[in-house]
Structure 1
Amino acid sequence: MDNVPIGVLVAALILLLLLSAFFAMVETALMAANKYRLRHLAKRGSTQARTTVWLLDHADKLLSVILIANTVTNALAVALVASLAIMYFGPDQGAIAASTAAIAFLIIVFAEVTPKALGAAYPEAIALPTSVILKPLVTLLKPVAWFVNLFVTGLLALLGVRRPDRASQQQMTPDELRSIVLEAGAFIPQKHKSILLNLFDLEKIAIDDIMTPRAQIEALNLAVPVEDILDQLTTCYHNKLPVYEGEINRVIGILHVRNAVALLNEADELTVEHFRALLSEPYFIPPDTDVFTQLQYFQENRERLAIIVDEYGEVQGLVTLDDIIEEMVGDFTTSTPSAARAESFDWDDNGECLLEGTTALREVNKRLGLDFPLDGPKTLNGLLLEQLQDIPEAPICMKVAQCVIEVVKVQNQSIKVVKLIRSVNKRHR
């Protein structure tokens, strides 16, 4: 080494530091790169993205090669500086220690911290072009990586550590997917983000959370005169009507109103049997079915409307395919009276809101930003009766979930109208 020009030694040292910096920067960039974006680019035909995905799929070999190369270059740099110190200063311990400290500082600043900061700041911009260089290197050094991993695997076996399966590591839970959507920021439009989040919640919502309650079901009673049946058909708001005889628990079928329109011209000769002949079989479901499962049942059974019954066979409500779709994408514009009422309620200028007692708590929470409990009663009337343990006499006030509720009207053993008064904290939120 005495005959080697100093310029060549310095150039070799700089080259080693650059190689060490390169491997450190690439390692950080590859680990920080968005794997889902890379796979998307690979599917669109990007050669660099396909190469990068291949490297990430062989992460154990990739990391072995990078760590081996980085360690070797750093060790050679330290050895070269030590040799230079001995060449010019002799076996002086102080000079050797000072040169070792200097090269350690250079490695930390220029070959570790700075390149890794760059790799973390621009992961895709660095990982994509450098992957073309790394793949041949990984292939070339595969025997070396295999030899090193042989000892690593043996050491892990002695310690009782088992390497996890790569496929299981790449699987994501619904909560993790939900976090990705929430953190997507401006990359996903707000409406799309809302739909995706609603999809994740479908399995947590029961059918009785979104059903039309029994008292609000528009149904046809075949026990009334034919004239009354015709009047209801000409003014109904829905295409399909549950049909019962005498009382709502005796549902005998579903009538498609469009099929019944042809009978309206035969008013003089119509009988109840004409309508009975048009009925299709009713479809009954329990109230605790989750919404996602029910969506699958609708698809499998080719149904669009289901009657919800409890364990005693009592009708609790009605749910349609449209109700589930609205839960995912939001409410549609509709002309039904109940929908018009639902769309209209909001806080007024005084922080108050007048609602019917049958209003669903989920709708109240969603539209007014409140936190009423949803693990018990489904309506404001049910919530108040549970809290009071009695049927109140209006007016009466109570506070639930940081919101003051005033009972305005009580009729027929139920609370018909309530006033919600927003608390001060909510008002200035």
Structure 2
Amino acid sequence: MSDDSLPERTAAPEARKEPPRDTRDSWIERFKLALGLKAPASIRDDLEDALEESEESATDDFTREEKRILRNLLTARDIRVQDVMVPRGAIVGIADDAPFSELRALFTTAAHSRVPVYGETLDDPKGMIHIRDMFARLDVIPLDAKVADIGLIRPVLFAPGSMPALDLLIEMQAKRIHMALVIDEYGATDGLVSLEDLLEIIVGEIEDEHDIVEDSAVELLSDGVLAINASATIEEVARLMSVDLETESDEHDVGTIGGYVTALLGRVPGKGETITAPNGMAFTILDGDARRLKRVRITPAPVVDET
């Protein structure tokens, strides 16, 4: 479909269909072949066996990063779309009757490559606009033209929050549509999911050209307590706190303090939540969202009086 015409929504929420079975089978078969795994009935069994053999073997067949990705893949089947979506209140979108000048300003300030377009509310979605399409016609679209009339709106997918995240990933790849709106049983918009959100389930956080690269931003508080970005490495935190974290982090195959805290709890903790490590250190979440941690306060383990 040409970007010069206004595309229709791909389907109403109630008409959304599962991807064809052969698409899913061929995707899994390609993945098995890429890993060199052959025939047994369950690819999950194949992966678990391969990882177990790798742990027991003197010569490790997988790198640390490969093992992390494979373990993520094994647990990904239990993750639902609602677990990784951007909630409705955090969606950055634009009304279809807004002027083109407002769309330009939104892309400048929002740091997103795609934004959803809606009618009166988010419950009346029209599609989405990609920043690349906007730049391609930046010089020919009048600033007062309505978003609905500029011919840049692309379709989006619709998915219930209970849908397995990997199923939506496969559907996005098959249909080449990289944004989905999460709808409830009444067709109202609950949230938004991008292809990047789904890929991060398997490969971890993806930084694109819009992400801000920050250092660990260490803030020393009182009595040995510090606040630090969750992206700080295990090695850096161990050095700052004068403790050994690397042995425990190796057991979880994580490299950042955010990954370590998430592994300790078995899920992404919420803002304000405190997690205590086996060594007695406490990690309080200062900032983060449903997908990842952003900033953590670390309190040293209490000193044991041995006298």
- Which interval holds the TM-score relative to the shorter structure? 0.5 to 0.7
Once the two structures are superposed, the pairs formed by residues 279-298 of structure 1 within 5 Å of their partners are 279-298=153-172
Alignment correspondent of 1:254: 128
Distance 2:51 2:228 in 1: 35
SS across alignment from 2:123: coil
SS across alignment from 1:334: coil
Alignment correspondent of 2:192: 318
Q: Give the 3 Å change call, closer, same or farther, for CA 407–295 of structure 1 in structure 2.
A: closer
Distance 2:73 2:269 in 1: 23
Contact 1:222-1:229 within 8 A present in 2 as well: no
- Is it true that 1:205 corresponds to 2:79 in the alignment? yes
- What is the CA distance between 1:272 and its match in structure 2? 0.6
Q: Give the 3 Å change call, closer, same or farther, for CA 272–406 of structure 1 in structure 2.
A: closer
Contact 1:306-1:319 within 8 A present in 2 as well: yes
Q: Give the 3 Å change call, closer, same or farther, for CA 243–171 of structure 1 in structure 2.
A: closer
Counterpart amino acid of residue 313 in structure 1: G
The one-character-per-residue Cα deviations of 1:12-61 (angstroms, maximum 9, x if unpaired) are xxxxxxxxxxxxxxxxxxxxxxxxxxxxxxx9xxxxxxxxxxxxxxxxxx
Contact 1:263-1:270 within 8 A present in 2 as well: no
The one-character-per-residue Cα deviations of 1:382-425 (angstroms, maximum 9, x if unpaired) are xx6xxxxxxxxxxxxx75666564889xxxxxxxx996444628
Contact 2:103-2:147 within 8 A present in 1 as well: no
- Is it true that 1:221 corresponds to 2:114 in the alignment? no
Distance 1:347 1:183 in 2: 43
- Is it true that 1:305 corresponds to 2:179 in the alignment? yes
Once the two structures are superposed, the pairs formed by residues 22-421 of structure 1 within 5 Å of their partners are 174=44, 177-185=47-55, 186-266=60-140, 268=142, 270-272=144-146, 275=149, 277-336=151-210, 340=213, 344=216, 350=224, 352-353=226-227, 366-369=259-262, 371-372=264-265, 374=267, 380-381=270-271, 403=282, 405=284, 420-421=297-298
Contact 1:346-1:368 within 8 A present in 2 as well: no
TM-score (structure 1 length as normaliser) = 0.42
SS across alignment from 2:174: helix
**Relative CO higher for 1 or 2, CA cutoff 8 Å, sep ≥ 6?**
2
Q: Give the 3 Å change call, closer, same or farther, for CA 268–301 of structure 1 in structure 2.
A: closer
Q: Given the alignment, which residue of 297, 301, 305 partners 1:424? A: 301
Q: Give the 3 Å change call, closer, same or farther, for CA 335–369 of structure 1 in structure 2.
A: same
Alignment correspondent of 2:9: none
Superposition RMSD in Å: 4.1
Distance 1:195 1:373 in 2: 16
Contact 1:206-1:290 within 8 A present in 2 as well: yes
Counterpart amino acid of residue 261 in structure 2: L
Q: Give the 3 Å change call, closer, same or farther, for CA 344–354 of structure 1 in structure 2.
A: closer
SS across alignment from 2:207: coil
- What is the CA distance between 1:334 and its match in structure 2? 2.5
More helix by share: 1
Counterpart amino acid of residue 198 in structure 2: I
Aligned residues between the structures = 224
Distance 1:340 1:234 in 2: 18
SS across alignment from 2:51: helix
Counterpart amino acid of residue 336 in structure 1: H
Q: Give the 3 Å change call, closer, same or farther, for CA 306–175 of structure 1 in structure 2.
A: same
Contact 1:347-1:368 within 8 A present in 2 as well: no
TM-score (structure 2 length as normaliser) = 0.56
Contact 1:213-1:316 within 8 A present in 2 as well: yes
The one-character-per-residue Cα deviations of 1:45-103 (angstroms, maximum 9, x if unpaired) are xxxxxxxxxxxxxxxxxxxxxxxxxxxxxxxxxxxxxxxxxxxxxxxxxxxxxxxxxxx
Contact 1:365-1:372 within 8 A present in 2 as well: no
SS across alignment from 1:187: coil
Q: Give the 3 Å change call, closer, same or farther, for CA 198–273 of structure 1 in structure 2.
A: closer
Identity of aligned residues (%): 21
SS across alignment from 2:199: helix
- What is the CA distance between 1:285 and its match in structure 2? 0.7
- What is the CA distance between 1:319 and its match in structure 2? 1.7
Contact 1:291-1:324 within 8 A present in 2 as well: yes
Distance 1:228 1:273 in 2: 9
Gaps of 5+ in 1: 1-42, 44-166, 357-362, 385-397, 409-416
Distance 1:214 1:371 in 2: 29
Distance 1:290 1:244 in 2: 25
More strand by share: 2
- What is the CA distance between 1:239 and its match in structure 2? 3.0
